[in-house]
Amino acid sequence: MDLDTLPDGWTIYVWLIAGGLIILAAIFGIRWAKKNEQFDEDIKYLVFDENDKDKMDPEEYKKSREVLDVQMKRREEILKEQEAVRRKKSSK
């Protein structure tokens, strides 16, 4: 099929399909991010460690430690869930 023999206006359909696919990819990406806890505003506090205490306000430092504790607990929960799934799959 030669592109010159196609009727006028066919390119709009290509753009519509491409746009639709981009929108679908964005929706699935946002859905994945929400499901995997990627919209956490407190994530910025995880870059700090004990050596940054003197560079931070006491409130910010306290917040960073609280966020780190919550994240570590959540990490342990996820690892336990993954291990349970692995055991379940290997027992089948």
Q: What is the pLDDT of residue 3?
A: 67
pTM of the model: 0.57
Residue entry with tokens 């910025």 = 44
User: Which tokens sit at 75?
Assistant: 């990490």
CA distance 27 to 49: 35
pLDDT digit string, tens, across residues 38-49: 887 887 888 888
What residue ranges do the domains of the chain occupy? 1-39, 40-92
CA distance 34 to 28: 10
Q: What is the pLDDT of residue 1?
A: 60
Residue entry with tokens 């991010």 = 33
- Tens-digit pLDDT profile for the chain (92 aa)? 676 777 788 889 999 999 999 999 999 999 999 988 888 788 788 888 888 888 888 898 899 899 999 999 999 999 999 999 999 988 87
